[in-house]
Chains A and B, each alone.
Chain A
Amino acid sequence: MFVALRDLKQARGRFVLMSVVIVLTTFLVTFLASLTAGLARESTSAVTDLPADHLAFSMPAEDDSPEFTASRVVAEQWRAWAGVRGVESADPLGVATTRAETGGTTASVTALGVAPGAGLVALGDRGEAGDVEPGTVVLTPAAAAALGAQVGDGVTLGGAELTVAATVDADQSFSHTPVVWTSLDDWQDVGARGRADREAAPVATVVALTTSPGADLAAADDALGTTTVTTSAARSAVSSFAGENTSLTTMQVFLLVISALVVGAFFSVWTVGRSGDIAVLKALGGSTGYLLRDALGQAAVLLVGGVATGTALSVAAAALLPSAVPVVVTAATTLVAAAGLILLGLLGAGVSVARITRIDPHAALAAR
């Protein structure tokens, strides 16, 4: 990069301007990726953090895609699932968003109803799980904060009077509402049937399955009229998640493409501007490979510097933002996005500097 590095110093203004564009684009892409991850977590962490690997849905129509709001499983189904070969545990899980009240405070929460002994209640962010006793409710920190409730307080949930048994150190939410845990029996009051149908057999939203390799889930689905997906895939069954995630991911993809086009356009103009220099280098004996390496090296320096700065700024901004902004900074939201920007930027630059191969030194020098 003998010439490339000296060009960077010589044409400092132009390269600084381009670097600023790359820094800002990187900031936008990585911040958006962190925000997407944060919003996804707010929508689906109650599902993805479950100590189960699959969820079985039972939709009103056979061809319906799984959805938490429409799915309803009955006792026969979860009992049958428990008997399927390769299924280690099959526990009913009720999921319903409702209003909680304590004192004069109300808040929207998602009540997760679990059967006694199922061990589905997340007690911490590291996978510890436990139970909730009938007549009680377990609050996540966000629910406790929203309600201003603590252990021993009474909470009205869908008309049922419950006592706060514990607040757990597990930051879980569903469709942007904080999670509270109840027994499946108490959950019937807020679930699919409401209080009027109390004497009927209990129902739940899905069956949470823990399976071992070799379990024939498809055959069981056919036999039991359910649709089983992994807990990760079940995120798409949260209605708020699919819309948000698709919109934000589309924005990220567009930003990546735009950034590649901007970098490509810059290097296209830059390469046209230095066609004369390239012709001289070719006339002096510079091979096309040498010239391409030189030009791409220059693009790499610009991209790596700009993307590293933009990523660092994004991480710093995420750390400084109030906790109300749901950003999750991980390697996937920063390093993967940064690598994507560098690769696509190099691709854009590569397409632009490829014109080097077509520069005829004799003709270019004659025109200079």
Chain B
Amino acid sequence: MDLHLEHIVLVYPDGDTTLRAVDDVDLTVPAGTTTALLGPSGAGKSSLLAVAAGLTRPTRGTVTIGDDVVFTPDTSVARSTRVRLERIGMVFQSPQLLGSLTALEQLELHAHLRGARPASTRERAMELLDAVGVADHAGRRPAQLSGGQRQRVAIARALVGRPEVLLVDEPTSALDHERGTQVVELITRLARETSAATLLVSHDASTLATVDATVRMLDARIEATPPLRTA
């Protein structure tokens, strides 16, 4: 399913005034493709991603997955949470793994959040850990993994629920160039394999060789939307 962001406006209170973090943005990410969102700090990239994830309600505009309008200015927190659980996978700037859970349990947690037995998703979880190259470390906790391994576990966690949309926030910020490139390659490949519409925020264009499209944000607006690259 495609991800559509339509006329998104996000205004924050800022002291006595307001700050327009996102200003009338339209963006479509087709299913199975990865769009990179580039731009300087403060351009509004992460704010737009937060709106796409339902973590922040837009001041105006709608977020649509396929034909379903999922987030509007009136969407409740409970509904946003349900949509994230069932339709969206998220990879954060730092891996944000839970310290008490092993790599495998980080993925099994998704099943538990959905009310299913954690073991019911074990096969899929192991497949994904294998796909991201950390299957041998399935029984290790975050403190026993390297930074790159933690980020790979976080990517696998985002995909374990077979999301229609994958939202990735600066996944390479803590990695060197080589490992950053590998991580973006991995995300692009998995997005294609899982048909997830993937929106990836990055500050480092040099790691984005494998993405399908890049979009640049500046001063809360999108500068231009180039056509998709064909794989």
Give residues in A with beta carbon < 8 Å to B.
2-3, 6-7, 9-11, 276-277, 280-288, 290, 361-362, 365-366, 368
Give 4 new A-B contacts, CB below 8 A, not counting A283-B92, A365-B92.
A285-B86, A287-B81, A361-B55, A365-B96
Q: Are A290 and B113 in contact (CB under 8 A)?
A: yes
Question: Nearest chain B CB to A271's CB is how many angstroms away?
Answer: 15
Q: Are A2 and B96 in contact (CB under 8 A)?
A: no
Q: Are B81 and A362 in contact (CB under 8 A)?
A: no
Question: Nearest chain A CB to B110's CB is how many angstroms away?
Answer: 7
Q: Are A2 and B109 in contact (CB under 8 A)?
A: yes
| 23 residue pairs bridging A and B, Cβ less than 8 Å apart | A2-B109, A2-B118, A3-B100, A3-B101, A6-B101, A9-B100, A11-B100, A277-B98, A280-B96, A281-B98, A282-B81, A284-B90, A284-B109, A284-B113, A285-B81, A285-B110, A287-B78, A288-B78, A288-B81, A290-B113, A362-B50, A365-B92, A368-B94
Question: Nearest chain B CB to A272's CB is how many angstroms away?
Answer: 15
Measured CA separation A362–B99 after assembly (Å): 20
- Report how many residues on chain B are interfacial, defined by Cβ distance under 8 Å: 32
A10 contact set on B, CB distance < 8 A:
99-100, 141
B212 contact set on A, CB distance < 8 A:
none
Most buried by A among B84, B100, B108: B100
Most buried by B among A7, A10, A285, A287: A285
B98 contact set on A, CB distance < 8 A:
3, 6, 277, 280-281
Is B105 located at the chain interface by the 8 A CB criterion?
yes
A362 contact set on B, CB distance < 8 A:
50, 55-56
Is B85 located at the chain interface by the 8 A CB criterion?
yes
Measured CA separation A7–B100 after assembly (Å): 5
Measured CA separation A362–B71 after assembly (Å): 15
Measured CA separation A280–B84 after assembly (Å): 12
Q: Are B100 and A284 in contact (CB under 8 A)?
A: no
Measured CA separation A281–B112 after assembly (Å): 11
Identify which of residues 5-41 in chain B touch chain A, using a CB-to-CB cut-off of 8 Å.
Answer: none
